[in-house]
Structures are given as structure tokens and as C-alpha cells.
Amino acid sequence: MDLPISQTMQQARGAMSAFLDFFEHTPWAERIGDPAICDFVAGNPQEMPIPAFVEAIRAAAVPQDPMWFAYAQAQPSALSAVAQSLRARTGIPYGTEHMTVTTGSFGGLAVLFATLADPGDEIAYLSPPWFFYAGMIAAAGATPVRIPLSPPRFDLDVDAVAAAITPRTRAIIVNTPNNPSGRIYTPDELQRLAAVLAEASGRNGRPVFLIADESYNRIVFDGRTFTSPATAYRDTFVVYTYGKTLLTPGERIGYVGVHPEMENATTMREALFGAQVVLGYKFPNRILQHAIGDLEALSIDIDHLQHKRDRMVEGLREIGLELESPEGTFYLLPKAPTADSRAFVDLLAARDVFVLPGSTVELPGYFRISLTATDDMIERSLPGFAAAFKEATA
């Protein structure tokens, strides 16, 4: 395609070509919202939002002073709510001076990439990844470096990380709980990772930062606890979005926490504020900032999500599909019975069951299912999965 756009943005588009290819050439796009389909493609809500979420937004929309909707960058009450939350979750003494509020994890990541990396700098990510990392890194003018992990569990392979680090490595993104693998990295894995990053920082003469994408850190199953990478490594930025826990991804609010022990931590946070302004006033809308204290306390029903996970894992295994049971997030990542999952994805689509092909997450032999589908869709889909599996393996 010969668009008169910047080289940088052409590279960003190239880095997410598998994603664009699926979304530009899929019958799913025309069927979204059709009650006849079973829609497992995206982590989008398919049921009405939490009533308390709606109440919080409604209350926050009523102005209490003339400045209620003024330019405010990150407002003090929002910073104090997120600092308190991150402190309680990690035991690390985050203060308001270490926090900023962002337009979700998308916004936090974009601001960090632009703040940390120069052209030629590398930002590494674990693969299979969230589909926008490589494109967003390229959009910041940096070079995405893929670190492949091994099936079936996609554990955090610290040796692979060590092998991928170069003198140009500026940061590594660690997404835990992981979209799409569902893995929660263990304290031991994180400690070993921290040792590798500290050693590489010394060798490089500048920090290799850890960007902890914790978008799903409150969506964990079976009574597991989540350990933040920030507890293992001081040169960590924690990135969070409320869009997953509340299942309201169109309402853009989240935060970035700068580790209090990072060198020049508060100046780093000032740098993030500046980047947010010049990148296009990337602060959440005031209504969301006013509401954030209330939003902190809310969550979708995790037990119900776990129940959907169990039903789907059991149903798909009975059919003959291979998959791990995720420890957190709302995704399943089964292996396709065809070498390239796209063929299987098409067989499913012919039966009104829509899933995401693994090519979009650098894993063509797999496909991803989002458990944000309804119970009814899960039940209705299983005969479709069985029939498609039978046809694919005949």
C-alpha cells in the first residue's frame, strides 16, 4: 500500500499487519451484535455494565465547582486514589508523586515508549504478545524485539530474555497475567528476570527498564495471588487499566506507577506528565478522574468468569482440542487442529462461532477465545466447535 504517510507510521502498520489483515478481511465485522452468533473474538462486554459503574459516572458528571471540567492534567484526588491502591497491592510506598493517570494501558504504554526510547533503541516483548506492542513500539520510533516463549505453557523464559538483550535494549514489557497465554509469572521467575535485567543494566551503563503491563492483575482464578514485577525490580513502571476489571474498555482510564526507588523517580514522573501533554493531552477525561475513587472498589464477577473458564475448558477438551487452563485474564488459547488456525477459524465462522486466529498474536497454530462471551454463547458454541473439529480432522 502506497499511502503518503510517515515512514514511522508505515512501520507501525507493518508491525501489526497480521492484526489488520484479520480485522479488514473477516466476516465477523459484519456480524458484531447479531444475536445468532457466538462471539469470542475481542475482550469486549456483551452484557450490561455493572450498575455501580454507571452510578459512579453519573455522580461524577455533576459539577461541584466551576473548575470541574477544566484542564487539570492528572488531578490530585485521582493520583491519591491510584497511589493508595498500588501501595496496598504491592507493599511498595508509592506516593502521588510517583503516579500519573492515563487513557488506559494503551495510553500508559504509548507515553512510556515515547519517553524512554530513541530511534535505534530496542524495546523487547514476550511472544505470544498483546497484538499492539510491536506496532506501538514502532510508532514511538523504536525497534520492537520479539522474545519467543515455548508452548504449551509459555513460561517466562529468563534465558531467552538474557539472550535477546543488546546494548540498545531500553526496556522489556512483561505482561502478567498474560494476554493471550493466561499465565501469571511466579515470584521466582520474576526474581530471576530481575537479576538478568540488573546485570544487563550494569553492562549497558544505563537501566534496562521493566514495563509491567498489569492490565489483568485483578482477574486471577483459583484463589491465586498476583505478584507485581515491581516487587522484584526497582526500575519498573507499572501500567494498569480499569477497562478489564470493570469490562468497560471504551471508557479510557488507567495509570502508570513509577517505582519509588527508581533513580530520579519523581523527575521521571514529571517527564511522563510532559510526554502526556505533547503526545496529545493523553490524560483521562475529568469525569473518569472524578470517579476513579469509586471505580477502584468495583469489579466484574470473577467467580462467574472462572465458571465460564471451567465450562469452556472442559467442553473444548471433551471435543479433543488441546489447551491449558488460564490462571488469570479472560482468554483461552487452544491449539488449532489445522497447522494454520485460519482454516479452523473459517470452519467455526461457517457455524456462527467467531474466534481470533493465532496469527494476530504471532502464533499461527493457535486461536484465542475471549470469555467475555455470555454463558448462553458458550453453551450454543460447543456443538459448533465439535462439528468444525470433526471436519478439520476428518
Residues lying near ligand PMP in the complex (CB under 6 A) are found at 43, 104-106, 130, 175, 179, 213, 215, 241, 243, 249, 254
Cβ proximity to ligand PMP: between 133 and 233 the closer is 133
Decide: residue 119, CB within 10 A, 0-12 exposed, 13-18 middle, 19+ buried.
exposed
Phi, psi of 30 (to 5 degrees): -80, -10
CB of 179 to ligand PMP, least distance (A): 4
Cβ proximity to ligand PMP: between 241 and 289 the closer is 241
Rounded Cα distance between 121 and 338, Å, is 38
CB of 245 to ligand PMP, least distance (A): 10
Cβ proximity to ligand PMP: between 362 and 389 the closer is 362
CB of 184 to ligand PMP, least distance (A): 13
Which residue's C-beta sits nearest to ligand PMP? 104
331 neighbors 183 (Cβ within 8 angstroms): no
Rounded Cα distance between 377 and 35, Å, is 9
Beta strands 99-102 and 122-127, pairing class: unpaired
CB of 260 to ligand PMP, least distance (A): 23
Cβ proximity to ligand PMP: between 41 and 382 the closer is 41
CB of 328 to ligand PMP, least distance (A): 11
Cβ proximity to ligand PMP: between 105 and 381 the closer is 105
Cβ proximity to ligand PMP: between 106 and 344 the closer is 106
CB of 129 to ligand PMP, least distance (A): 8
Q: Measuring CA to CA, which residue among 63, 51, 80, 53 is closest to residue 287?
A: 63
Tracing cell 526474581 back to the chain, one arrives at 191
Tell me the C-alpha to C-alpha distance, in Å, between residue 192 and each of 10, 162, 175, 254. 36, 10, 16, 28
Q: Measuring CA to CA, which residue among 304, 282, 295 is closest to residue 78?
A: 295
Cβ neighbour number for residue 303 with a 10 Å cutoff: 9
